[in-house]
């Protein structure tokens, strides 16, 4: 498992040279953006059940057969498993976002996930759709383009407009999830 700092270290070690001024420039940017990163992580952790529930509900609404007998979200036990997986994916995305590196997401969540879903008969096309909705919701909350309560409301530090870059980074982690299970 790596983070932005240890990723730089592994790259430098491969060359056998110490980390100097040039390599430190991007890490200094990472540190100077730390507050945005923390706000963005909180945007996920404080809205987990909302994001996951909306995504699964959206997926089911588009495929109403899923909750009927014979559907993949029938009975509720299987729908609950779906909600749980949504939260697990969000958890690993929040770790990756905090660390500034996708390795924890790859190693501990995505590695073997597609095979597991295929073995369990989970329809991956629907799973991908749920992840897409979670991505859209997460980005909207971070950039304050969501309807409802705004992330920075009543807080006079930061705004959604300043979180574009970090929201794009979060979106890239969701894209990783999508490409690994599709």
Partner 1 sequence: MKSAVTTVVAAADAAGRFPSMSDIEAVKGSFDRASSRMQAAEKLAAGIDKVTADAVDAVYGKGTYEQANKDKCARDIHHYLRLINYCLVTGGTGPLDEWGIAGMREVIRAQVLPTVAYIEAFTHIRDRVCVPRDMDEQAAAEFKGLLDYLINALA
Write out the residues near partner 1 by the rule CB under 8 A: 1-6, 8-10, 12-13, 16-21, 24, 27-28, 31, 34, 38, 41-42, 44-45, 48, 90-91, 94-95, 98-100, 104, 108
Reading phi first (left if > 0) and then psi (alpha if -120 to 50, else beta), residue 157 is in: beta
Identity of the residue, 73 or 99, whose beta carbon is nearer to partner 1 in the bound complex: 99
Pull the structure tokens for residue 167.
């929201």
Q: Which is nearer to partner 1, 22 or 147 (CB)?
A: 22
Which residue shows structure tokens 């036990």? 77
Q: How far is the CB of 160 from partner 1 (least distance, A)?
A: 19
Q: How many Å apart are CA 87 and CA 91, to the nearest integer?
A: 6
Smallest gap from Cβ 169 to partner 1, in A, equals 15
Using the minimum distance from each CB to partner 1, give the nearer residue, 37 or 135. 37
Q: How far is the CB of 157 from partner 1 (least distance, A)?
A: 14
Q: Classify the phi-psi angles of 112: left when phi > 0, otherwise alpha if psi is within -120 to 50, otherwise beta.
A: left
Count other Cβ atoms within 10 Å, centred on residue 180: 18
């Amino acid at each position: 498992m790596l983070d932005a700092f240890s990723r730089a270290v592994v790259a430098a070690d491969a060359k056998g040279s110490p980390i100097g001024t040039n390599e430190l420039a991007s890490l200094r940017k990472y540190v100077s953006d730390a507050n945005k990163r923390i706000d963005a992580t909180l945007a996920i952790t404080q809205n987990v059940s909302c994001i996951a529930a909306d995504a699964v509900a959206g997926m089911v609404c588009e495929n109403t057969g899923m909750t009927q007998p014979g559907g993949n979200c029938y009975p509720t036990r299987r729908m609950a498993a779906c909600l749980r997986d949504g939260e697990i994916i969000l958890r690993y995305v929040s770790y990756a976002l905090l660390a500034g590196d996708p390795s924890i997401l790859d190693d501990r969540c995505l590695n073997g996930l597609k095979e597991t879903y295929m073995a369990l008969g989970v329809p991956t096309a629907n799973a991908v759709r749920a992840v897409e909705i979670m991505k859209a919701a997460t980005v909207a909350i971070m950039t304050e383009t969501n309807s409802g309560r705004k992330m920075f409301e009543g807080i006079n530090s930061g705004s959604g407009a300043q979180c574009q870059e970090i929201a794009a980074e979060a979106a890239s982690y969701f894209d990783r999830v999508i490409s690994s299970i599709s």
